[in-house]
């Protein structure tokens, strides 16, 4: 039985399946799904748990031995079988087929593994599991889905974010669900429950170095060269990795280059800002930067960002923080004749 992540909690309220299979490469949601299954199993009396980490040396006879043995401490138990991937030997495949053909009473088997390839879903072992199991495949949350994901997580905590607040957080927490969830919990503690707007989000995260790199980006877009240098100096002093700073700059420059190209081909500014989901508070810096530089300059900044990356990786010579200063100030509209240190 195929199961979707959003359906999991409601499906766990009834009779539990004899087998659960959770697969995927997104660790936060995979761990959250596994924890929900374990917690509900405990609620329904499966108080004993046996954990097996499967590697090349794992003895699959342990699975069937566990299934056949009576619990010494509880009437019901959960077998927690953890695999690194969906690829394992013949003995493992046979053991899973045998287990699923004769699943023991009062026992739940929870299988967690990495991403499954399409070909694996046509194998005998998977078909045997699929007949009796709830199968949940976890997928990464795409950038376009992040505002909705964040909104749901905030609502679950009693917060009601505005659209701008959700987009702001999504831009800054893209791709890292664990970091996002931690920031949302911090936001709840700082702002409390109820309505939350973009200004509250900006104020709440103003002391976070992760968000300071985005303050740097906005300062550069606005052409505030003094603030650019001050923020870079602070980031360097706090020991922030140059890679994080370059990531934020490159990400913004790439977006600006795309927007500039759209404008150069006759698209309306308001339409472009909506297309690229620029929330109201960011429209002034983005608009100012689009007026300052054309597509060719933004593309040139991308080439310079690529050169800074080469320096960070040791493939070219240069002083990393000086290069970041130069790149940031060029975005701000200042061309340096010589390098200055942050």
- Where is pLDDT greater, at 13 or 174? 13
Q: What is the pLDDT of residues 172-200, one digit of tens each?
A: 776 678 878 878 888 887 888 899 988 88
Mean pLDDT of 320-335: 92
Domain count, the chain: 3
In the chain, DSSP assigns E strands to 2-3, 19-24, 48-54, 77-83, 107-113, 133-138, 159-161, 194-196
pLDDT band at 246 (very low <50, low <70, confident <90, very high): very high
Q: Are residues 22 and 130 in the same domain?
A: yes
3-state SS class at 17: coil
Mean pLDDT of 155-167: 90
Q: What percent of the chain stands above pLDDT 90?
A: 41
pLDDT band at 340 (very low <50, low <70, confident <90, very high): very low
* Token digits of residue 3: 């199961």
**Residue 119 confidence (pLDDT) above 50:** yes
Global pTM reads: 0.62
Q: What is the pLDDT of residues 87-97, one digit of tens each?
A: 778 888 899 99
Tell me the CATH number at 241: 1.20.272.10
**Residue 338 confidence (pLDDT) above 70:** no
Q: Are residues 169 and 262 in the same domain?
A: no
Q: Are residues 265 and 166 in the same domain?
A: no
- Where is pLDDT greater, at 74 or 285? 285
Q: Are residues 85 and 176 in the same domain?
A: no
Beta carbons within 10 angstroms of residue 302's beta carbon? 16
Which range marks the domain in which residue 113 is found? 2-138
């Amino acid at each position: 039985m195929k199961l979707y992540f959003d359906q999991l909690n409601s499906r766990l309220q009834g009779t539990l399946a004899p087998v659960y299979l959770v697969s995927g490469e997104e660790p936060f949601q995979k761990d959250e799904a596994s924890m929900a299954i374990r917690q509900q199993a405990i609620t329904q009396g499966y108080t004993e748990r046996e954990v097996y980490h499967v590697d090349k040396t794992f003895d699959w006879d342990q699975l069937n031995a566990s299934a056949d043995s009576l619990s010494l401490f509880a009437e019901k138990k959960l077998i927690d079988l953890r695999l690194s991937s969906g690829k394992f030997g013949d003995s493992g495949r046979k053991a899973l087929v045998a287990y699923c053909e004769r699943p023991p009473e009062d026992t739940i088997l929870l299988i967690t593994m990495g991403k499954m390839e399409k070909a694996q879903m046509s194998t005998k072992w998977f078909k045997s599991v699929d007949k009796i199991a709830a199968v949940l495949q976890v997928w990464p949350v795409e950038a376009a889905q992040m505002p909705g994901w964040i909104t749901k997580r905030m609502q679950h905590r009693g917060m009601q974010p505005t659209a701008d607040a959700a987009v702001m957080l999504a831009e800054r927490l893209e791709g890292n669900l664990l970091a996002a969830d931690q920031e949302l919990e911090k936001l709840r503690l700082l702002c409390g429950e109820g309505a939350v707007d973009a200004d509250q989000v900006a104020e709440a995260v103003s002391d976070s170095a992760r968000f300071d790199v985005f303050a740097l980006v906005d300062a550069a877009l606005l052409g505030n060269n003094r603030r650019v240098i001050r923020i870079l100096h602070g980031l360097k002093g706090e020991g922030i990795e140059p890679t994080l700073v370059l990531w934020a700059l490159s990400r913004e420059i790439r977006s600006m280059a795309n927007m500039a190209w759209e404008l150069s081909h006759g698209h309306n500014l308001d339409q472009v800002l909506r297309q690229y989901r620029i929330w109201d508070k960011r429209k002034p810096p983005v608009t100012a930067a689009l007026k300052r530089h054309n597509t060719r300059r933004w593309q040139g900044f991308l080439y310079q960002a690529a050169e800074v990356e080469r320096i960070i990786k040791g493939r070219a010579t240069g002083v990393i923080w000086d290069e970041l200063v130069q790149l940031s100030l060029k975005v701000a509209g200042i061309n340096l004749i010589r390098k200055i240190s942050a």
